[in-house]
Amino acid sequence: MTELTGPARTHTNRASLSHKIRYAVQNPDRVRPYLRRLARDCSLRLTTRDHVAYYRAVMKADAATSPSAAVGSASHERWLALGQMQFDYLIRHGLTSKDRMLEIGCGNLRAGWRFIDYLDVGHYYGIDISPEILLAAGDTLVQQRLQDKRPHLSLVRDLRLAALPDAYFTVVHAHSVFSHSPIEVIDECLAHIGRVMAPNAFFDFTYNRTDGTEHHVLREDFYYRTGTLTALAETHGLTARPMEDWDQLPHKQSKIRITL
């Protein structure tokens, strides 16, 4: 589940047999980890009732080894750098300390601790489906000595956002969450996000882009065409636009911005 950097190969179908064989030949050291994930996939498919339960189990197993690796960073330096990249991007796009931010899939606060530090007291809300990663988020908060900023960190079982107030958030952020989500989870989020967004708010999310066939790898990594996601947003009365300046950064995912 590592977030590789570098330009996306947008036509590659990672679920195809030919890709798997080519990848295995070029990366023999990745074969054993892949087979371990494949075995886990077979077992979780039998024991979990839906995708959220499935992915929660993936996070539980991965966070037990390393919370930073579970959110996709191979080292602490990479964890710091990817959080900084998310923070700097939103600062360039006008984030102010007065904004009220919702971070969907906040993980162990890789970017979240920087937002909490920057925003006014109580202005950061992080939600996640994984209890283990939220415990790790608490650890990050302590390490960064940010208790006085009183962020809200909540466990959720879906993305209906039912516990959150109407028209409240001015910035909504979801980094590397829809890249791990089937279309019905994204649809659920887009169906409800408009209710919690303030009139001039925006919602940025990243996704794995393909210009070829949409596919997933072991239900952990999902690849979508941009048009699928923008059209889905429009069915919920939202406006969606691809953020081309994000594509210039050394990150393999693309970004879409949603407005009301």
Ligand X SMILES: C[S@@+](CC[C@H](N)C(=O)[O-])C[C@H]1O[C@@H](n2cnc3c(N)ncnc32)[C@H](O)[C@@H]1O
Chain centroid, CA 177 distance in Å:
2
Tell the burial category of 97 from Cβ atoms under 10 Å away from its Cβ (0-12, 13-18, 19+).
exposed
Which parts of 39-58 interact with ligand X (CB under 6 A)?
Answer: 52, 55
The residue written with tokens 């908060």 in the block is 141
Which CB, 170 or 208, lies closer to ligand X?
A: 208
DSSP lists the bridge partners of residue 173 as 103, 204
Question: Which residue among 101, 129, 193, 197 contacts ligand X (CB under 6 A)?
Answer: 129
Residue whose pair of structure tokens reads 């990243």 in the numeric block: 206
The yes or no reply on residue 71 touching ligand X (CB under 6 A) is: yes
Asked if 253 touches ligand X (CB under 6 A), the answer is no
Kindly tell me which residue out of 133, 161, 196, 256 binds ligand X, with binding defined by CB under 6 A: 133
Amino acid occupying residue 129: I
Q: Is 110 among the residues that bind ligand X (CB under 6 A)?
A: yes
Under the binding rule (CB under 6 A), the answer on residue 153 touching ligand X is: no
Assess 254 for contact with ligand X (CB under 6 A): no
Binding of ligand X by 132 (CB under 6 A) = no
- 208 near ligand X (CB under 6 A): no
- Print the binding letters for residues 7-36 with ligand X: x by CB under 6 A, - otherwise: ------------------------------
DSSP string, the chain: -----S---TT--TTSHHHHHHHHHH-GGGHHHHHHHHHHHHHHHHH-SSHHHHHHHHHHHHHHH-HHHHTT-SSHHHHHHHHHHHHHHHHHTT--TT--EEEET-TTTTTHHHHHHHSPTT-EEEEES-HHHHHHHHHHHHHTT-GGG--EEEE-SSS--TTSPTT-EEEEEESSSGGG--HHHHHHHHHHHHHHEEEEEEEEEEEEE-SS--EEETTTEEEE-HHHHHHHHHHTT-EEEE-HHHHTSS-SSEEEEEE-
CB of 152 to ligand X, least distance (A): 14
Indicate whether 240 belongs to the interface with ligand X (CB under 6 A): no
Determine, following the binding rule CB under 6 A, whether residue 104 of this chain makes contact with ligand X: yes
Task: Quote the least distance from Cβ 22 to ligand X, whole Å.
Answer: 25
x-marked contacts with ligand X along 165-194 as a string, rule CB under 6 A: ----------xxx--xx---x---------
59 near ligand X, judged by CB under 6 A: yes
Query: Which residue, 55 or 89, has its beta carbon nearer to ligand X?
Result: 55
Is residue 37 near ligand X by the rule CB under 6 A? no
Stretch that binds ligand X, among 18-26, 125-133, 237-245, 246-254 (CB under 6 A): 125-133
Binding site for ligand X (CB under 6 A): 52, 55, 59, 71-72, 104-107, 110-111, 127-130, 133, 156, 159, 175-177, 180-181, 185
